[in-house]
Amino acid sequence: MDILFDEVPSLDLADFTSGNPDIKNAFVKKLGEAYQNIGFVAIKNHGLSQALQDRLYTSITSFFSLPDHIKGKYEKPEIGYQRGYTGKGKEHAKGRNTGDLKEFYHVGQEVSLITDTDPVKSEYPENLWPEEIPNFKQDALEAYQTLEYAGRQMLKAIALHLGLEESYFEDKVIRGNSILRQIHYFPIDNPDAVPADAVRAAEHGDINLITLLMGASADGLQVLRKDGKWIPITALPDQLVVNVGDMLERLTNKKLKSTIHRVVNPPREKMHTSRYSIPFFMHPRSEMDLSCLESCISGAHPKQFPDITAGEFLEERLRELGLRK
């Protein structure tokens, strides 16, 4: 029977890493229940300090305050905007043509840190670092590495819930194609001048395996519950919100739920204010096979997706979002 949550369940990642089998198993059970029903949890003890979050928000506030022609130096449509800046309204949700009311900056794996012969070194584009913001690179890379590690722990718990080896995802996400996206939902001084259906982020599911989201600067995130009700997503200052993405839903033949979510516009009198948000989209390596797990297929739950690799699926979705031609 479905459980209809009124808020996102809260978990402590330290329970999973505690070394106590009973506490660890209880974490896995609660996580599995949440991901099969609402697709979201809030976790604490994830390793990302408040001081680092504050520095990140200071950096991105400074960057997005720069003139458009300066920000435009870091825009690379030829790589599908997968590194650097993406300008206002360039991305739209799948199935829509109206661009979201946002701009953002992408940081991926730092190629200079890959010192061996791993083939992903030639696959990933170089990061772009805005010279106008001196601390941007250091803070973004520290956050990237911290969130990547926390995501690996979450995937270990997910693997156990699925009856897989705890290390199932490890070789698939080491140096994966993950993205730290730093988002500015920009002010609208004249709401009548934007399309009537334009929103900060139209309803969508994330592309990746899981998303780890640090606290945003303002309210607005909502998740669609199974009964069709939109409920607000809020996390305490010491929590990350972690949700299932489309790749994981696909791998598990919809056993785990990639829940539709959105960022709604503020009341008209607050449309002139900014909102900042920093999600970490945890992607596997492009060669990962996303074919539905045999253990998630049965007579009652027949296979719902054709076979595809993570890289092929990402390219397909980037085209649907208007970021790849």
CB 310 within 8 A of CB 249: no
- The per-residue pLDDT for range 114-134, each reduced to its tens digit, is 989 999 999 999 999 999 999
191's tokens: 């709401």
Q: First vs last Cα of the chain: how many Å apart?
A: 43
Three-class secondary structure of residue 30 per DSSP: helix
Write down the pLDDT at residue 197.
86
Write down the pLDDT at residue 312.
96
Mean pLDDT over each residue of the chain, to the nearest integer: 92
Write down the pLDDT at residue 77.
92
- The per-residue pLDDT for range 193-234, each reduced to its tens digit, is 888 888 898 898 999 999 999 877 668 889 888 888 898 887
Domains and CATH numbers, the chain: 10-320 (2.60.120.330)
In which element (H, E) is residue 15 found? helix 13-16
CA distances from 253 to 4, 17, 175, 256, 294 (A): 21, 28, 25, 8, 9
pLDDT classification of 3: cutoffs 50, 70, 90 = low
pLDDT classification of 87: cutoffs 50, 70, 90 = very high
Residue 141's φ and ψ, nearest 5 degrees, are -65, -40
> Among 156, 187, 193, which residue's Cα sits nearest to residue 282?
156
Distance CA 97, CA 108 (A): 27
What is this structure's pTM? 0.94
